[in-house]
């Protein structure tokens, strides 16, 4: 088969909308200079696209204030900036879910070696994926949360975590809340003006359909001012050895990746034109189609929430008699189908799903179709017939 069936969109969406490629090329050719470092026209144009992208993104997530958008090179760096920017002398109990990516899990593990805090888990049922409120409620009273870090959508199971329910449960102690939206912003409607969340992290190259090299933080906190984690040049007040005390420049040391930001700008405009609910509906229909097809294969074990309305885009499974790595390798080598195998940078999910050998992950995007799913199903059946 000559055509590549790309089903690893949880890692990065591919392809991107055509307007992203076009605008990145045109903008970088004409305005690919250092933004915010000079007063000439080219530099001002580069700065304008940064500010416009902040505004577009802030409107997309409901905060409607471009000053709340902090750009970083990746979501991992954004999470590090948030967590290392906190005052750990005031944090004793940290709560996370078992769905967390290593961007959160490893960072907290590293910080726990330096500071005296405990990491607790928000327990979910492996059969239904529903949160265990009976056991969690008394725990939250005995070990009141100071910080809660939760993924919005699991990058392994496609489970949409009940963030509203979690926020309500932990609200008794008014903890700092960090929401990892790497798999959700652009796909799921998010109105941060209605959620008591301090920081939301986004990744430009995933559900926002932008390029690598741009991600960031939505700083929605009214109670926390982050300390600087990465420091350096900002293009202003250069003789002052301290970082700016306020504003986005406090957290944006170094030169902006203007080409990546231009790509994100075009991607967000594409999302606005296409409509988030339309993107969601198409991906949900395709997800359900894939699940229904996989359920017809007796040898396949699926890892899904009971409530399918809380599931989107990502389907993980194993095949009897094969490791996840073997399945992914055969699909790539013999059928030109790109999927991911293993633990997917999520250290606790294998324990939660009782599958320590990893899983095959199929992740969809707006640009996949039923033909892609049919080709995958045909390939899986052929593997089983061998």
> Which pLDDT belongs to residue 149?
98
Q: What is the pLDDT of residues 103-153, one digit of tens each?
A: 999 999 999 999 989 999 999 999 999 998 888 889 999 999 999 999 999
pTM: 0.95
Residues 198 and 87 in one domain: yes
Same domain for 368 and 240: no
pLDDT tens digit string along 273-317?
999 999 999 999 999 999 999 999 999 999 999 999 999 999 999
Boundary (domain end) residue, out of 203, 238, 273: 273
Residue 135: per-residue pLDDT: 85
d(CA 215, CA 64): 18
Average pLDDT of the chain is 94
Asked if 27 and 110 sit in the same domain, the reply is: yes
Cα separation, 347 vs 344, in Å, equals 8
Q: What angle do CA 312, 353, 293 make, to 5 degrees?
A: 45
Residue bearing tokens 């796909």: 187
Residues in Cβ contact with 354 at an 8 Å cutoff, skipping those fewer than 6 apart: 126
Of 167, 185, 184, 164, whose CA–CA distance to 176 is shortest?
167
What is the number of domains present in the chain? 2
Residue 78 confidence (pLDDT): 97
Domain termination site, one of 241, 273, 305: 273
Instruction: Answer with the one of 252, 273, 294 that is the final residue of a domain.
Output: 273
Taking only the tens place, the pLDDT of each residue in 334-346 is: 999 999 999 999 9
29 and 96 housed in the same domain = yes
For residue 116, the enclosing domain spans: 18-273
Q: What is the CATH number of the domain that holds 330?
A: 3.90.1150.10
Q: Write down the pLDDT at residue 1.
A: 54
Which residue stretches of the chain have pLDDT < 70? 1, 37
């Amino acid at each position: 088969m000559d055509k590549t069936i790309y089903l690893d969109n949880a890692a990065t969406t591919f392809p991107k909308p055509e307007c992203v490629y076009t605008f990145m090329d045109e903008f970088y050719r004409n305005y690919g200079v250092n933004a915010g470092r000079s007063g000439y026209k080219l530099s001002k144009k580069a700065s304008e696209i940064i500010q416009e992208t902040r505004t577009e993104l802030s409107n997309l997530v409901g905060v409607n204030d471009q000053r709340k958008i902090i750009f970083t090179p990746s979501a991992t760096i954004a999470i590090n900036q948030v967590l290392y920017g906190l005052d750990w002398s005031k944090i004793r109990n940290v709560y996370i879910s078992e769905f967390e990516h290593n961007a959160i899990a490893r960072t907290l593990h590293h910080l726990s070696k330096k500071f005296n805090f405990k990491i607790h888990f928000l327990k979910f049922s492996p059969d239904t994926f529903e949160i265990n409120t009976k056991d969690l409620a008394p725990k939250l009273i005995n070990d009141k949360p100071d910080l809660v870090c939760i993924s919005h959508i699991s990058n392994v199971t496609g489970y949409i975590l009940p963030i509203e329910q979690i926020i309500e449960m932990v609200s008794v102690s008014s903890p700092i809340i960090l929401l990892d939206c790497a798999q959700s912003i652009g796909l799921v409607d998010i109105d941060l003006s209605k959620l008591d969340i301090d920081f939301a992290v986004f990744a430009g190259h995933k559900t926002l359909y932008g390029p690598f090299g741009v991600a960031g933080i939505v700083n929605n906190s009214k109670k926390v001012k982050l300390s600087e984690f990465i420091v350096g040049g900002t293009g202003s007040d250069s003789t002052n050895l301290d970082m700016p005390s306020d504003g986005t420049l406090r957290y944006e040391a170094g030169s902006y990746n203007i080409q990546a930001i231009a790509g994100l700008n075009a991607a967000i405009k594409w999302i606005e034109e296409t409509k988030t609910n339309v993107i969601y509906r198409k991906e949900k229909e395709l997800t359900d189609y894939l699940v229904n097809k996989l359920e017809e294969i007796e040898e396949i074990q699926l890892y899904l929430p009971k409530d399918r309305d809380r599931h989107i885009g990502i389907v993980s499974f194993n095949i009897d008699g094969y490791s996840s790595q073997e399945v992914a390798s055969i699909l790539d080598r013999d059928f030109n189908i790109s999927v991911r195998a293993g633990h997917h940078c999520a250290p606790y999910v294998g324990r939660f799903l009782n599958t320590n050998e990893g899983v095959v992950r199929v992740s969809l995007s707006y640009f996949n179709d039923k033909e892609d799913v049919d080709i995958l199903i045909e390939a899986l059946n052929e593997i089983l017939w061998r």
